[in-house]
Structure 1
Amino acid sequence: MKRTAGIARTVSIALAALATTAVTAGAVSEAPSFYTVRNDHGGVIVDYAIKAAQLEQTGQTVKFAGRCDSACTLYLGISEDQLCVTPSARFGFHLPFGSSSQGNRFATTYLLKKYPRWVIGWLRDNGGLNRNLKVMPYEYVSQHIRPCDTQVTDL
């Protein structure tokens, strides 16, 4: 349990540091208005949590233009008015895995708290999170996230 609390504390500290950095950076320069996600296979959840918080704070639009798997799906927790999808968008979900079973349980809980209700519903309807990659198609996602304007440029 101490390890899980330590992971939670680390995530909280990292997000607090990011918030301070984002406010300071915002005073110096403006971020691009679009961030394109394409063929992202995921990675360390903490890294994606920090990036998602940064994107939400800057108000950037996140354009999904290809695969977004694993930890990348945390971007779906960003405010819906900052998200758009192209017909090539697909989202892959599976149980987190990594350093310890306690860490994996914490990561799973974190993901499920960050996902919007429509993602949770889709996961439930498709058997929940497990070790197998479950792919959410554009046809479903586009019912919940607006299509990208043709004017949205790739950055």
Structure 2
Amino acid sequence: MTISKFSLTLTAVALSLSAFNANAVPRTGNEHVIRYDRGGYVIDYAIDMLKMEKSRRLVKFAGRCDSACTIYLGLNKAQTCITTAAKFGFHLPFGSDRRGNQVAASFMMKKYPKWVHKWLEASGGLSAKLKVMPYSYASQYIKPCEGRTNMTQQASF
């Protein structure tokens, strides 16, 4: 069995993310606004997610967040907010070898909260076709951005 470099790297990032205690890190940084993010390599988004967890940056979903971008839905609820323009596009990972794509899909599914799993199951599961989660569903689980300030200002040490 051949394990790709991508699979090993993604596994290492997954272990780092699962072992990381975000509560031990002080809240700093600015907001990260997502308006039209078509996604990209899962490994890049996994690394960005780790950085965001460490910095406690507020992530504002203010538009399209597709593909690997949806990994940010796995951030702490206090670290995210949503506007009415937000929607989320899901599909099976592609672009690596078969094993790498399986590892990427498994990693992302582990990061998603239960409410995302519920929506995906009700929508027929992940497939090659893009499935779009509307604001009306996601807003039941993500707080609205109106009146939110960055995480530094919300800190109460």
| TM-score of Structure 1 vs Structure 2, range by shorter chain | 0.7 to 0.9
Q: Structure 2: how far apart are the matches of 1:127 and 1:11?
A: 26
Residue from 27, 37, 40 that aligns with 1:40: 37
- How far is 1:15 from its partner? 7.0
Matched residue, 1:22: none
Gaps of 5+ in 1: 19-25
2:63 and 2:87 mapped to 1: Cα distance?
6
State the match for 1:141 in structure 2.
Answer: 138
Rounded to whole Å, the distance in 2 between the matches of 1:144 and 1:118 is: 8
Change (3 A) 1:11 1:106: closer
Q: Answer whether contact 1:15 1:53 (CA < 8 A) is retained.
A: no
Deviation at residue 149 of structure 1 after TM alignment: 2.4
Runs of 4+ in 1 over 6 A off after TM superposition: 15-18
1:119-148 per-residue CA deviation (whole Å, 9 max, x = no partner) reads: 000000000000110000001000000000
Please state whether the residue corresponding to 1:65 is helix, strand or coil.
strand
Q: Which has the higher contact order (CA 8 A, sep 6+)?
A: 2
TM-score of the two chains, using structure 2 as the length reference: 0.81
Structure 1 residue 115: Cα displacement: 0.3
Describe the shift of the 1:50–1:12 C-alpha distance in structure 2 as closer, same or farther (beyond 3 A). Answer: same
What does residue range 1-155 of structure 1 map to in structure 2 within 5 Å?
1-3=1-3, 6-13=5-12, 31-150=28-147, 152=149
TM-score scaled to structure 1, two decimals?
A: 0.82
CA contact (8 A) 1:56 1:78 kept: yes
Secondary structure of the residue aligned to 1:129 is coil
